[in-house]
Amino acid sequence: GAVAELIEVPEKYTLAIETALGASAQHIIVENEKDARQGITFLKKQRSGRGTFLPLTTIKPRSLGAHHYQAIDGFLGIASELVSFSENVAPVMQNLLGAIVIARDLDSANLLARQLRYQVRIVSLDGDVMNAGGSMTGGATKQGNRG
């Protein structure tokens, strides 16, 4: 199924997790590479657009050790540890969210980014992003547009 269908997000973190996932929320988790190939072939034959498939047999988890960041003011957690999902899709969820830090607000995200030498992507509860490398993304979002 779609990533968004297979993850449970506490209300407090909804915007941050949606921002962290971006278009990946609509990617399709499949059992293996064969299923992914079949999905792509179907889309081609039907001329039904494009899709991204995440085979459980090939996607590897990524992670940051939360213990490294817990003492930093504004740190709320590692994105993959703030949500719930079934164990069978854990590698995919940890790949998508395991290396993303969630911060209280933009100021905290900026401070965390500086302390982490701009090597980690950080998303605030308001959906502002400190990208690895130092670029920043943010602004207003449309109301009532949560997934």
How far is residue 35's CA from residue 29's CA, in Å, rounded to a whole number?
10
pLDDT in tens, the chain (147 residues): 999 999 999 999 999 999 999 999 999 999 999 999 999 999 999 999 999 999 999 999 998 876 667 667 889 999 999 999 999 999 999 999 999 999 999 999 999 898 888 999 999 999 999 999 999 899 876 655 555
Among residues 41, 60, 64, 66, the alpha carbon closest in space to that of 51 is found at 41
In the prediction, which pLDDT does 144 show?
54
